[in-house]
Chain A
Amino acid sequence: MSRTRLRLSRLAPLLALLATACALVPTSAPAPLHLGDLANDGDPTRRASQRLVLDGLRADAQNESERARGLYQRALQVDSGNPYAYLALARQSAAQDEPELALEYVARAEDLLATEVNRSPGADAHLDGLRGIALTQTGETVEGEALLERAAQNAPDVWGDGRLDAEELR
């Protein structure tokens, strides 16, 4: 009996730790993706590509959209399978009211994200939101608004205002 009690007391800290961990496990949608969080992920090629995407987002945030586009293309030159470069291009195209392009880039990003080994779940809200903006721009407002609403529910901090700024993606 006493031996059992002793064992339980020894396990108490472990159980407490487990309970804390369970409490910390998110039950809602994952946090929205910030590409800066991925800057050091992947092989050197991906990291270099990612740095170029981040530089591009910085340029986009400073309204240097052409420079930004050039940097996104350079990012693809280094790693043509980098989904985040397409995501950044999609964001820029949506912001520039080029919905057809935005939809192509979102689809490309989505395809490539689907095959990523370390896929960031926080990208889904961006895919929904960007597709929502583009569809709304093409007049498909019902579908577009539904996607924007879903993006806002999953990432209210970013998509609450129905848009994705370059800094928010960065």
Chain B
Amino acid sequence: MARRGRKPAWLRLAAGAVIAVAFTIGFAAAGLIAGLDHTVRSRFEGVRFRVPSRVYGAPTILYPGLDWRRIDLPGALARLGYRAADTAIALPPGQYVWSGQRARIHLRAFSHPSRPEPARDVVLRLDGDLVSAIRAVPSGEELGAVLLEPEPLGAYYGPAHEQRELVRLAEVPPHLVDAVLAVEDQRFATHSGIDFRRIAGAMLANLRAGEIRQGGSTLTQQLVKNFFLTPERTLQRKLQEAAMALIVEARYDKDEILESYLNEIYLGQRGATAIHGVGEGAHLYFGKPASELGVAESALLAAIIQSPNGISPYRDPKRATQRRNLVLDLMLEQGRLEPDAHARAREESLHLATVTPDANDARYFLDLLRRQLAETYPTEVLTQEGLRIYSTLDPRLQRIAAESLRQGLESLEKRRPALARQGDAALQGCIVAIRPQTGELLALVGGRDYRHSQFDRCTQARRQVGSVFKPFVFVAALEPWRGPPVITLASRLDDTPFEVKTPSGPWRPANHDRQFHGEVGVRDALEQSYNVATARLAERVGIGRVADVARRLGVESSMPKVPSLALGTAEIAPIELARAYATLASGGVRPTTQTVEDVVDGEGSVMEKRRLRFERVIDAGTAFLATSLLEGVADRGTARSLRAGGLRGPIAAKTGTTDEERDLWFVGYTPDLVAVVWVGFDTPRGLGIPSSVGALPIWRSFIEGATGGVVRGAFPKPPVIEEAAVEPGTGALALNGCPERREEYFLAGTLPTAVCPDGGGEADSGGLLHWLRGRL
């Protein structure tokens, strides 16, 4: 007898199977959801965005007396995204009004943990090219100096090559949020991650169109897709997206999701770099921070989200305007915009920033900095953690240096077609500039075109330096060393045939003009760059001491202690020469080369600050004498063509051309700026021109651009320097009655003992005083 109510075995089996399957599916689903939840949490609670580190240049400082045209103030404002306004009434930060002799600028705040600058509304009174006064608005307080925020130079990208500037939701203007919500997800505040009404509407529209035209994704779904998923349109991916959107909404509040979305959304390209987030998007399209966007600009940014490249206002302004207006209409319809604001915004034309690809002018500098920073910061930190690196580079000088080098090389090739590109071997060059008193690196162009060659010839190449080494010989001879110096500026040198025995045979230096000049003055020897006189002097001083002086001044490369070192056979990097000459320019004090002022992390804390450092390596008097000698080179010697274009003011300089004209050098300095120019081929071959033709014009162009053609200041004369008249032909102290005389500088206690005319004569009071002083 069958038991009552007992179910058949097959039914029990089936029920068991169903329960087992249900459990299995349940477990699998739970596992899947747990997995998705883990993925979501690990992203949201870890490093949410990979933000490249940005490098900034030194800020521009405005002050009364500044030549605003020389520093290209309008250009600096444009590069920083300042916009000319029609009226100064209620002028917001980031805008200015320029009217004749008056520039009203509302300077933006500069955010920095330890040296922030507030936003400042100021009026610059202009007197011709000069700023005559700066006053705060509305107080009228006279200001001594104000700062423009530093210009961005570039960034260190990760493999994805994405750029973004993170913004906090509180910094985003409400109308930008409204514009995004109006067009992308109007029910964002109320849905739970999926908007079924929107999905239904999109399906209907797509059915009508017969193709997929609309998406039904919410902001949360879009964020999930961008964060975790691929762009493919499959059912499985859509289900995954929906599940993750629900998880995100369950775990995080709306503001957090919205802020993530605004920072993640793709908004177009700047060259090869993908622009993500409204912060970076605002810079790309409008050249300003997101916080300064107006209603129409916000609507345009929101309009672009759907298809940043298709609706690009640069490519298709008409289509972009239409879609912007659609966004504005939606904002009005949804009550997010007042009718009058809507009308005004619709009337606005597109005010777009000038599109500039990543400025490549500073790329060699960025590479140098990256190599230096890599000693402290791992690559992932540099490319993902959004550091702000405040560098010493002067963007204005950098542009001038890049332009001077480019034009200089092109001009050389035009005049001498033999120098033009032969296969891959293009004529190359580099230029590096340092502020001598502080050691701050101001400009660096390591080659002709970064896109073709990233090799930095100013910091990574070592080439024979030729005659730019000679000043080190003269410094060694002028410096008191265990007794009086070997020479004074009044000494006479021997420029007659000379031979030194070396292990590789006798060495017989010759002059460039293939002549010997007999007895020559110290100034003549350096001004005319006589090899023989210099080699003989190096022999008197000792080549070891010459190398020691070069080392103390800042040369780090190895220097073989052979007689020919005096004539520059050592291979030295241009940046080392810049440092060595900077030491002379700063009166014998060697500054530590600085490229970075400080580094701020993504959270806004200072990670590192670098201090100016100095070391006295040569006495101030000797450094001054060397500078005076090099001034002679610029005024009368091999670099005299510097003055041909009207360049005025104190300049000390030296030309250098190596054997067969393979390397052309020009090193020179003013009281505030040292610059080194090198020109040559990467694989050395003769150029057939001297440095005064190849390198000097590039240096001159750079300094003219930097100074406006008039170098200010003077090389300071230390108290240890005395002046006395000498007879140029003999170097004797010139008394009254001496037929020829020239004022000369001496270290105290080193005046000549011989007098002119021989045996005395009628001494003038100054000359006699010096003469007596020399004997006491």
Contacts and interface: CB of A to CB of B under 8 A. Distances in A.
B437 A76 contact: yes
Interface of A is mostly: helix
A155 interface: no
A66 interface: yes
Nearest to A45: B65
Nearest to B611: A101
A114 B718 contact: yes
B719 A78 contact: no
A51 B144 contact: yes
Interface in B294-313: none
Given A74-B61, A76-B438, A107 B115 contact: no
Interface string B42-73: 00000000000000001101011110000000
Given A48-B65, A48-B66, A81 B713 contact: yes
A81 B144 contact: no
B606 interface: yes
B708 to A, nearest CB: 13
Contacts of A39: 144
B436 interface: yes
Contacts of A38: none
A81 B115 contact: no
Given A47-B64, A48-B64, A107 B614 contact: yes
B316 interface: no
B436 A80 contact: yes
A66 B612 contact: no
B731 interface: no
A39 B58 CA distance: 24
A110 to B, nearest CB: 10
B61 A78 contact: yes
Contact of A47 (B65, B116, B435, B616): B65
Contacts of A104: 613-615
Interface string A80-124: 110000000100000000000100110110011011100000000
B145 interface: yes
A67 B606 CA distance: 12
B587 A111 contact: yes
Contact of A66 (B114, B144, B437): B114
A74 B145 contact: yes
B421 interface: no
Contacts of B144: 39, 47-48, 50-52, 54-55
Contacts of A77: 58, 61, 435, 440
Given A45-B65, A55-B144, A108 B115 contact: no
Most chain B C-beta atoms within 10 Å of own C-beta, residue among A89, A101, A104, A116: A104
Interface residues of B, number: 40
User: Chain A, interface size: which category?
Assistant: 35 or more
Most chain B C-beta atoms within 10 Å of own C-beta, residue among A43, A50, A81, A89: A81
Interface string B610-623: 01111110001000
Given A48-B145, A77-B58, A115-B716, A43 B614 contact: no
Interface in B361-405: none
Nearest to B114: A66
A107 B616 contact: yes
B115 A78 contact: no
B665 to A, nearest CB: 24
A43 B60 CA distance: 19
B64 A44 contact: yes
Interface string B710-733: 001100111100000000000000
Nearest to A108: B614
A53 B435 CA distance: 19
Nearest to B587: A111
B754 interface: no
Contacts of B694: none
A48 B438 contact: no
Interface in B143-169: 144-145, 147
B66 A44 contact: yes
Interface string A24-66: 0000000000000001000111011011101100000000101
B170 to A, nearest CB: 25
Interface in B588-646: 589, 597, 606, 609, 611-616, 620
A24 to B, nearest CB: 28
A71 interface: yes
Given A44-B66, A48-B65, A80-B437, A114 B719 contact: yes
Contacts of B574: none
A4 to B, nearest CB: 36
Contacts of A105: 614
Interface string A107-146: 1100110111000000000000000000000000000000
Contacts of B612: 73, 76, 89
A128 B420 CA distance: 60
Contacts of B606: 66
A108 B591 CA distance: 10
A54 B620 CA distance: 28
A160 interface: no
Interface of A: 39, 43-45, 47-48, 50-52, 54-55, 64, 66-67, 69-71, 73-74, 76-78, 80-81, 89, 101, 104-105, 107-108, 111-112, 114-116
Interface of B: 58-59, 61, 63-66, 112-116, 144-145, 147, 435-438, 440, 587, 589, 597, 606, 609, 611-616, 620, 671-672, 712-713, 716-719
Q: Which 9 A-B pairs have the closest CB atoms?
A: A44-B65, A51-B144, A115-B716, A66-B114, A48-B63, A70-B115, A80-B437, A67-B115, A48-B145
22 contacts: A39-B144, A43-B712, A44-B63, A44-B65, A45-B63, A47-B144, A48-B144, A48-B145, A66-B606, A73-B612, A74-B59, A77-B58, A77-B435, A80-B672, A81-B671, A81-B713, A105-B614, A107-B589, A107-B614, A107-B616, A111-B620, A115-B719
Given A66-B113, A78-B63, 11 more contacts: A43-B65, A47-B144, A66-B606, A67-B116, A76-B612, A77-B58, A78-B145, A107-B589, A108-B589, A111-B587, A114-B718
